[in-house]
């Protein structure tokens, strides 16, 4: 490639990084810029399906997409390595195995689990972070079932699955567990009534701040299928065998303990000396880091204010993909000396699955969906993303079509 071309380096092949790279390929002629995409693995994964991997309700291979299957390696240089730090002064990215200079940089390294310093959480809880951590969760759950009947005096607590945090991730995860647990009970000859699935939420209600009718629906649906909720129950500590909860330090025991209590931006932002708001960079309207002419921060690494409501937009795949469109347009504008555009969020709604056949959410301007129509809409949203990324072929290979 011509080394005189400006080099655009995209860090992280998640929703934001993949869609930015795709759009750059569409917006720029090959002679206008060299595009480099750096990612830890040679595959992209659907972060929005990770709870299914953790519960064992989906094959992890369906969740992974080889990057070179959807990004043309003749057009984009693909580097599979781990980012260690961005050296802004020298315009260099330090990777685990090499270094890479840039003219323009896009940081889209996603989220890390936030434990808020809760004692024991890092040491004893599982996290829904990526494919590998989720495979580990499912293997651990299955092992608890496999060993139960081999014990002389089996401990029923070892079968319990405790999920800390009743946000969307925690609720979607217990929704998958209610599907999987009966299957595991059958496979390992365990009585279903011995298996507890417990969700613990600090706020007065699960999914705090979301539509009350929809939250009530989700709670009823999950409770009717055996999920226990502890609300107004702040986790104080995580131990080897459970959580310590509330002011009276109630001990809740389980063989599997998963923390879904919150996320923050990649720690590479801290390593690289960016000024942070709750672990993210408060970006300018055009999605650049303040004071940086050539660095864009996207997806879960970006703190983007919703000025009308005076709070940041929640970190979602929906936002990350929209950031990508604005960023790619602005990179083209920079190369063409044109004015940059401001990011405007287009809220298409929020839908959560409650297992394979149930769900709830809002679409477009607040229309509420419940049950099968919500579950169908969730699959439509998932398949739409696959279509945007890799066209009909990818939808057919990786899409969700399981009938009810």
Q: Does 176 bind ligand NAD (CB under 6 A)?
A: no
Q: Does 383 bind ligand FAD (CB under 6 A)?
A: no
Residue 44 near residue 14, CB atoms below 8 Å: yes
Given 172, 179, 358, 382, the residue binding ligand NAD (CB under 6 A): 172
Q: Does 168 bind ligand NAD (CB under 6 A)?
A: yes
Residue 334 near residue 33, CB atoms below 8 Å: no
> Shortest Cβ distance from residue 27 to ligand FAD (Å)?
19
**Site for ligand NAD, residues 54 to 113, rule: CB under 6 A:** none
Identity of the residue, 6 or 262, whose beta carbon is nearer to ligand FAD in the bound complex: 262
User: Cα separation of 259 and 162, whole Å?
Assistant: 8
Given 170, 255, 299, 390, the residue binding ligand NAD (CB under 6 A): 170
User: Cα separation of 14 and 46, whole Å?
Assistant: 8
**Site for ligand FAD, residues 126 to 155, rule: CB under 6 A:** 128, 130
CB atoms within 10 A of CB 235: 28
Q: Does 362 bind ligand FAD (CB under 6 A)?
A: no
> Shortest Cβ distance from residue 55 to ligand NAD (Å)?
13
- Element (DSSP H or E) covering residue 383: helix 371-398
Burial of 211 (0-12, 13-18, 19+ CB in 10 A): middle
User: Choosing among ligand NAD, ligand FAD, none, which partner's interface includes residue 83 (Cβ < 5 to 8 Å by kind)?
Assistant: ligand FAD
Q: Does 199 bind ligand NAD (CB under 6 A)?
A: no
Given 21, 115, 169, 272, the residue binding ligand FAD (CB under 6 A): 169
Residue 351 near residue 383, CB atoms below 8 Å: no
> Shortest Cβ distance from residue 128 to ligand FAD (Å)?
5
Residue 265 near residue 301, CB atoms below 8 Å: yes
Residue 64 near residue 45, CB atoms below 8 Å: yes
Choose the binding region for ligand NAD from 55-63, 138-146, 159-167, 274-282 (rule: CB under 6 A): 159-167
Residue 163 near residue 248, CB atoms below 8 Å: no
180: left (phi over 0), alpha (psi -120 to 50) or beta: alpha
**Site for ligand FAD, residues 28 to 67, rule: CB under 6 A:** 38-41, 44, 47-48, 50-51
Residue 206 near residue 216, CB atoms below 8 Å: no
Annotated catalytic, 172? yes
Given 8, 10, 16, 197, the residue binding ligand FAD (CB under 6 A): 16
Residue 74 near residue 301, CB atoms below 8 Å: no
Virtual torsion, Cα 340, 341, 343, 346, nearest 10 deg:
-160
Q: Which two tokens stand for residue 54?
A: 């953790």
Q: Find the angle CA(76)-CA(79)-CA(85) to the nearest 5 degrees.
A: 120
Name the catalytic one among 34, 52, 172, 201. 172
User: Cα separation of 243 and 73, whole Å?
Assistant: 47
Identity of the residue, 230 or 317, whose beta carbon is nearer to ligand FAD in the bound complex: 317
Identity of the residue, 120 or 262, whose beta carbon is nearer to ligand NAD in the bound complex: 262
Q: In angstroms, how far is CA 311 from the centroid of its own chain?
A: 20
Q: Does 299 bind ligand NAD (CB under 6 A)?
A: no
Given 21, 57, 108, 330, the residue binding ligand FAD (CB under 6 A): 108
Choose the binding region for ligand FAD from 56-64, 106-114, 202-210, 250-258 (rule: CB under 6 A): 106-114
Q: In angstroms, how far is CA 303 from the centroid of its own chain?
A: 16
Q: Which residue's beta carbon is nearest to the bound ligand FAD?
A: 14
Catalytic positions = 172
Residues in contact with ligand FAD by CB under 6 A are 12-17, 38-41, 44, 47-48, 50-51, 82-83, 108-111, 128, 130, 169, 172, 266, 268, 299-300, 315-318, 320
Residues in contact with ligand NAD by CB under 6 A are 118, 164-170, 172, 200-203, 208, 234-235, 260-263, 314-316, 350, 352
């Amino acid at each position: 490639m011509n080394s005189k071309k400006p080099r655009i380096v995209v860090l992280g092949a998640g929703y934001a990084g993949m869609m930015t790279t795709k759009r750059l390929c569409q917006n720029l002629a090959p002679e206008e810029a060299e595009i480099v995409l750096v990612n830890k693995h040679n595959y992209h994964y659907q972060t929005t399906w990770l709870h299914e991997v953790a519960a064992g309700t989906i094959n992890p291979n369906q969740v992974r997409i080889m990057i070179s299957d959807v990004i043309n390696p003749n057009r984009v240089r693909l580097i599979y390595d781990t980012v260690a730090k961005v050296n802004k002064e020298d315009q260099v990215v330090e990777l685990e195995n090499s270094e890479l200079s840039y003219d323009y940089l896009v940081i889209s390294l996603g989220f890390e689990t936030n434990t808020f310093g809760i004692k024991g959480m890092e040491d004893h809880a599982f996290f829904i972070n990526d494919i590998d951590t989720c495979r580990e969760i499912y293997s651990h759950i299955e092992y608890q079932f496999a060993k139960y009947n081999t014990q002389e005096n089996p401990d029923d607590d070892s079968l319990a699955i405790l999920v800390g945090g009743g946000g969307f991730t925690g609720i979607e995860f217990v929704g998958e567990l209610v599907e999987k647990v009966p299957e595991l009970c059958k496979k390992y000859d365990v009585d279903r009534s011995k298996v507890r699935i417990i969700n613990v939420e600090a706020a007065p209600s699960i999914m705090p701040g979301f539509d009350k009718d929809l939250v009530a629906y989700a709670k009823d649906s999950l409770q009717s299928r055996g999920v226990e909720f502890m609300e107004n129950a702040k986790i104080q500590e995580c131990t080897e065998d459970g959580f310590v909860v509330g002011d009276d330090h109630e001990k809740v025991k389980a063989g599997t303990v998963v923390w879904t209590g919150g996320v923050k931006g990649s720690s590479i932002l801290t390593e690289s000396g960016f000024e942070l708001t709750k672990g993210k960079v408060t970006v300018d309207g055009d999605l650049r880091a303040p004071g940086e002419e050539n660095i864009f921060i996207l997806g879960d690494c970006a703190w983007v204010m919703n000025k009308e409501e005076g709070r940041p937009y929640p970190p979602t795949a929906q936002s990350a993909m929209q950031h990508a469109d604005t960023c790619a347009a602005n990179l083209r504008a920079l190369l063409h000396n044109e004015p940059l555009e401001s990011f405007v969020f287009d809220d298409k709604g929020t839908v959560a699955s409650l297992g394979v056949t149930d769900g709830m959410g809002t679409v477009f301007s607040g229309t509420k969906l419940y049950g099968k129509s919500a579950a169908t809409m969730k699959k439509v949203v998932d398949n739409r993303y696959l279509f945007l990324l890799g066209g009909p072929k990818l939808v057919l290979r990786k899409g969700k079509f399981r009938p009810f």
